[in-house]
Structure 1
Amino acid sequence: MSVKDHSTTDCFKSTSSSQLQSDPLASHLFQTANSYLFGINGFMKDVKTAINYLRQAASQAHAQAEGVLGFCYEFGLGNTTTDFRQAEYHYIRAARQEDGLAMARLAFLRKYGRPGVKIDRGEAELWTERLCRLGVDAIQWISEAASRHNCPEAQYVLGVCYHDGVGPKANETEAFRWYKASAEQGNARGQGILGYCFGEGYGVQKDDVEAIRWYRLAANQGETVAIYNLGYCYEDGIGVTRDVTEAVKWYKLAAEQGNAFAQNSLGYCYEDGIGINRDSNKAAVWYQKSADQGYPWAQCNLGFCYQNGIGVEKNERLGAYWYRQAANQGHARAQHNLGFCYQNGIGVPKSATDAVHWYTKSAERGNSFAYHSLGYCYQNGVGVPVDGKRAVYWYYLSAKENHAPAQLSLGYCYRNGIGVDRNEIEAFKWFFKSASQGNALAQNSLGFCYEEGIGTKKDSKLAVSWYSKSAKQGNSWAQCNLGFCYANGIGVNKNDQKAVYWYQQAAAQNHARAMDKLGMHLQSGQGIEQDVKLAFEMFMSSANLQHVAAQFHLANCFENGLGCEIDITEATAWYERAALAGCRSSHERLRRLLMRACLDSANSADDDENSPLGEDASYITYINGYCAPAA
């Protein structure tokens, strides 16, 4: 029997009002439990007996005893196997009575989860706030157990409190100190989190090799988070040679034991074929398992699967549902995706106001995608008044985070003077940044800058180079521009066959200008077998997309019977549409056509006195009216 330590006799007395009013018998049972738990006050250490006393005290509504009982279940003390669900049950009962230990552990479990315990980061924040209002004294039991009684589990828990600022203020040095004390006593969770500290340089100099050493020690004891982290290290080559097959092995081991982080990562490996054969069905299964445990990344990924029919039957409503589950936990990517759903009415009623709400939530968490989306909303008046300056503000925030679409949008603002003074040099700079990241739209815009000398010196060869990069990614504008370069020998040797090829690629995407250009090659037989009928069809398709040049060419076909029957009425109508859109050639052809029609009608009137207006009175009246001002 150890020497009685009077200095610790009262160290576990509760500080909450509920405990000050607790039953004396329950308090005595709790004190006795602690004496057995740590072998103090003249008692031999006997954790099993301690648990019996804790159960008796808890049955008397002693909140602190309930919390410590949860602690024993969480860490498998006293021949009690680790049981996170049972621990959660006792923590909830104790936390409702403001027990500091229980609130600290509930905040942890809701934030990070454990097999069988659902993550809810919104609730985690609430427990953290409640505990912080009580102050550092609320975790006195943890502090005493860690410092005075050298309990490795409590040392780990105290490290977490300093890590997350739950009770005391966040302190990397103190967190690392307590993690190290726990790990050096062989505690698996202490070893696992110490590996994290070395891997991230948290509270200690970064050392990937040391991180792996501690992860392995913890993994050998079955700690699922350490097992998951080993997989992560193998996937990214942190402290070990990169080996994605080995990564999948560790992810599977942790996932099959219920680790939500590993389940999500395994789903990602199946989705993208990382270290394993691609299988979208299995990806969705593992995302579902993780999402059901409340892991927000998995919920977001599962939402994406349902929205796009990846491994599951497409269901946009369920896609939005899972985005919302993650968004409500503060997951920035999911908040942005939910905003996109509201903006476009995907799985939810279309609502620009709700879209801006979720974009703003996401932006507040620093999401660069959301910055860009808010910029778009302000530029186009989606859910907010049009405000070019605010659009540029949000585009810039996103662009400086290296978000390629935002860099492109910012470039457009500078090129067109939207929210900023027009500045072609700045426009070119942002187009170049975006294009260099592979953004196809920016590559096309950059090609145009080089072709026309916008913000830079003209360079036809560089124009073709950037058009080619964009065209190969399927951008129809770049395909059309590249075709034009080949057709006219701009930056490349003139080659009608290649011009036709690229026009065809763009025309297949209903690109109006490309269809018109292809129609011209078909009509003339340049670079392709002549086919005036197909040319006519190309002009018709392009003209119906309001392409003015195609409307002129279509009118010419109707006037001259190229690929169709001559139809002067149709020719006149299409020339008029093109002329009203500013086509000078159409205006001249229309004037000539109508003058000819006027003359023809006059001659017809001389030949037939009984029918002075010819066969179609309304038509002749129309063209006479049109001809009158010209006369």
Structure 2
Amino acid sequence: MALKEKLASVISRDARLRQAIAQLESGDDAVKGFKALGQLAQQGNVEAQYRTGKAYLEGWGTPPSLEDGTRWVRKAAEAGHVQARLTLATLYLVGFPEGFDENRATIMRDGKERKRVPDLELAAHWSRLAANEGQPDAQALLGYVLTNGPESSRDLVEAREWYEKSASAGSAQGHLGLGMALHSDPKSPEDLARGTVELLLASDAGLATAFYFLAWINEQGIGQAQDLAAAARYFEKAAERGIVQAQTRFALYLLQGKGLARRPDRAETWLRRAALGGDAEAAALLGDLHIRGEEMAPNYLEAATWYQVAAELGHGAAARGLGLLYLTGTGVHRDPDEAARWFRVSAECGDRVADADLGNLALTGIGSEEGRVAMQKRFLQAAENGDLVGAFNVGVCYAEGVGTERDDAQAAYWMQRAADGVVNAQYWLGRMYLEGRGVREDSGAAVQWLEKAAQARMTEAMILLAQLLVSGRVPKGRDHARALALYVDAAQLGSVEAMFSAGAMLGGGHDVPVDRREAQRFFRLAAERGHALGQLMLGRYLKRGLAGEVNPVEARIWLERAQAQGVNEASPELAKLERRLGTRPGGQAPAH
């Protein structure tokens, strides 16, 4: 009788467990199911302990609780429950918040975000127990810990063995781990091919990391022919699954039209997602995108916002870009002190160009004289120690008398020292030879140095060199075709002055074919960016139909803007236009 009662009790307990699990998983009566599981867990049922822990961790039938969930999962794991051991290993791999104590239910309920601290040793301990029981995902997790854990406990050979077992059992994580292991340390070309097959099997299960690695394999042509279209597809799949780096990479494909149609609008959407996910490069690219304008008008305020996001994430070039916006008052209020602050941030991030910008910024006279003297000494010490950027900066100080007496010969000496590695120094040295400052005047040497800076895509050097080629102040005389090419290149890099100059050359009067449609396009680019003479010329073109388009209404708008900026030639043009339209200035019809 006692045996029958005991058997009935077991059957009854198993039935109650199945019913509680069904209630919990169906969601129809999750609270009731959770309560029943809790009672069974208190009675020592190991499966119920594991299920109760999972319910707490995932918020099924009860408010989520990391503390309670971990405590119940640990009870089940210590009792030998294989799945509980895998869950506990995963918790240690992800890491518990700093100060976490599963026995103090109040510590995590103060609303504060805490950094998670992984414990790979305990992750290895619990995953090994489950792996030895044949749990495929635990085998993959153990392989991961043995690959990426502390140097003292790494064992790539054993890791691969566990990956092999896991993959053989059909675990998607095992396929992923084995594929990555075969690609990271291939012993033969066959390993690469097999690794790709394993990654494809992992991708069939929808694993984001598998898509990401397959994208790189196709992009780089690792173990196979390069396939940019496939790379784009895989980057997109990884991006959709939340891999931030893939979102940035896919955006670049859309911007460049690599492997798929070019779509700057979609690229911006993905860059925003990646930037909001903490990717500094994506935020910097968004800044660049809004500076250039692409298929939309430039938005300098938006550019400044994203540059600041990237700069605060440690992106040196973005900090420098933000400094330049503050220096010129583009999209933000003009603030040389704020510009200097961001240049310093950029330099501290390792951007040596920003250090050069700090030298240039010294010319604006920010800070005290004592501070400028200290800065000049710092630059001089760096220059004497062989630092090329320091040599450029001290050259600027001598050239302009910042923190020291002006000395053109010393300026030229340090510019020469810096010119082999600093583009700004090449530009300055070209100007010094052109003007005979600290060196004998030599237009040939000036052109050589300006050519170097122009080849490095420095717009100021491109524009000055183009001006010399237009005027003929070069040893070989005028070269208008080369000058136009320089202006066009500088315009594509965002120089408003170059946009206007390219339009002026194409409009006629120079030794290049006249193309007034293209001239009007360049004048419009300059006008939209606030260039007063560009606004005048665009107004004239639209008023007179010089490029085949007559639009007196828009012409008036641009001429009025030029006039507001003090361009005197706009006034007679407006007067003629008003007479033609029969209106007064401002577009009003005359009184009758």
- TM-score after normalising by structure 1: 0.52
Rg bigger for which structure? 1
Tell me: CA distance 1:335–1:518, structure 2 relative to 1, closer, same or farther (3 Å).
Answer: closer
| Residue identity matched to 2:244 | P
Q: Name the CA distance, whole Å, in 2 between partners of 1:309 and 1:276.
A: 22
In the other structure, the counterpart of 1:54 is: 21
After superposition, the C-alpha distances for 1:341-393 in whole angstroms (9 at most, x for unaligned) are 45555577765555455455555555555545554454444555444444444
Instruction: After TM superposition, give the deviation of residue 301 of structure 1 in Å.
Output: 1.8
Residue range with higher mean Cα deviation, 329-338 or 287-296: 329-338
After superposition, the C-alpha distances for 1:172-204 in whole angstroms (9 at most, x for unaligned) are 154443333333333332233333333333596
Corresponding residue to 1:305 among 253, 277, 281 = 253
Q: Name the CA distance, whole Å, in 1 between partners of 2:384 and 2:220.
A: 29
In the other structure, the counterpart of 1:618 is: none
Q: Name the CA distance, whole Å, in 1 between partners of 2:480 and 2:447.
A: 15
| Unmatched segments (≥5 aa) in structure 1 | 10-27, 36-49, 70-90, 105-126, 437-441, 551-557, 564-631
Instruction: After TM superposition, give the deviation of residue 320 of structure 1 in Å.
Output: 1.3
Aligned residues between the structures: 437
In the other structure, the counterpart of 2:273 is: 325
| Residue identity matched to 2:250 | L
Tell me: CA distance 1:312–1:137, structure 2 relative to 1, closer, same or farther (3 Å).
Answer: same
Q: Name the CA distance, whole Å, in 2 between partners of 1:541 and 1:371.
A: 28
Tell me: CA distance 1:511–1:386, structure 2 relative to 1, closer, same or farther (3 Å).
Answer: closer
In the other structure, the counterpart of 1:157 is: 87
Corresponding residue to 2:231 among 273, 279, 283 = 283
In the other structure, the counterpart of 1:142 is: 73
Q: Name the CA distance, whole Å, in 2 between partners of 1:222 and 1:210.
A: 19
Q: Name the CA distance, whole Å, in 1 between partners of 2:396 and 2:191.
A: 43
| Residue identity matched to 1:147 | E
Corresponding residue to 2:56 among 96, 100, 113 = 100
Q: Name the CA distance, whole Å, in 2 between partners of 1:372 and 1:497.
A: 30
| Residue identity matched to 1:307 | L
After superposition, the C-alpha distances for 1:427-478 in whole angstroms (9 at most, x for unaligned) are 5788999999xxxxx79968978998999994787556437xx6xxxx9x95
State how 1:413-452 maps to structure 2 within 5 Å.
413=361, 421-422=371-372, 423-424=375-376, 426-427=378-379
Corresponding residue to 1:263 among 199, 203, 211 = 211
Q: Name the CA distance, whole Å, in 2 between partners of 1:240 and 1:143.
A: 43
SS of the counterpart of 2:254? helix
State how 1:53-132 maps to structure 2 within 5 Å.
54-55=21-22, 58-59=25-26, 60-63=28-31, 99-103=55-59, 131=64
| Residue identity matched to 1:102 | E
State how 1:528-567 maps to structure 2 within 5 Å.
534=479
In the other structure, the counterpart of 2:41 is: none
Q: Name the CA distance, whole Å, in 1 between partners of 2:176 and 2:225.
A: 20
In the other structure, the counterpart of 1:466 is: 421
Q: Determine if the alignment matches structure 1 residue 512 to structure 2 residue 463.
A: yes
Tell me: CA distance 1:329–1:386, structure 2 relative to 1, closer, same or farther (3 Å).
Answer: same
In the other structure, the counterpart of 2:581 is: none
In the other structure, the counterpart of 2:403 is: none
Q: Name the CA distance, whole Å, in 2 between partners of 1:248 and 1:350.
A: 43
In the other structure, the counterpart of 1:180 is: 128
Instruction: After TM superposition, give the deviation of residue 319 of structure 1 in Å.
Output: 0.9
Aligned-residue RMSD, C-alpha:
6.0
Is this contact kept in 1: 2:247–2:271, CA < 8 A? yes
Instruction: After TM superposition, give the deviation of residue 285 of structure 1 in Å.
Output: 1.2
Tell me: CA distance 1:336–1:191, structure 2 relative to 1, closer, same or farther (3 Å).
Answer: farther
Corresponding residue to 1:334 among 282, 289, 298 = 282
Corresponding residue to 1:32 among 1, 7, 14 = 14
| Unmatched segments (≥5 aa) in structure 2 | 38-50, 103-115, 400-407, 488-494, 502-508, 513-592
Is this contact kept in 2: 1:300–1:334, CA < 8 A? yes
Q: Name the CA distance, whole Å, in 2 between partners of 1:316 and 1:372.
A: 24
Q: Name the CA distance, whole Å, in 2 between partners of 1:267 and 1:385.
A: 42
Instruction: After TM superposition, give the deviation of residue 318 of structure 1 in Å.
Output: 0.8
Instruction: After TM superposition, give the deviation of residue 259 of structure 1 in Å.
Output: 2.1
Instruction: After TM superposition, give the deviation of residue 136 of structure 1 in Å.
Output: 0.4
Q: Name the CA distance, whole Å, in 2 between partners of 1:431 and 1:222.
A: 62
Is this contact kept in 2: 1:306–1:315, CA < 8 A? yes
Instruction: After TM superposition, give the deviation of residue 274 of structure 1 in Å.
Output: 4.3
Instruction: After TM superposition, give the deviation of residue 304 of structure 1 in Å.
Output: 2.0
Tell me: CA distance 1:214–1:314, structure 2 relative to 1, closer, same or farther (3 Å).
Answer: same
| Residue identity matched to 2:78 | S
Tell me: CA distance 1:262–1:456, structure 2 relative to 1, closer, same or farther (3 Å).
Answer: farther
- TM-score after normalising by structure 2: 0.54
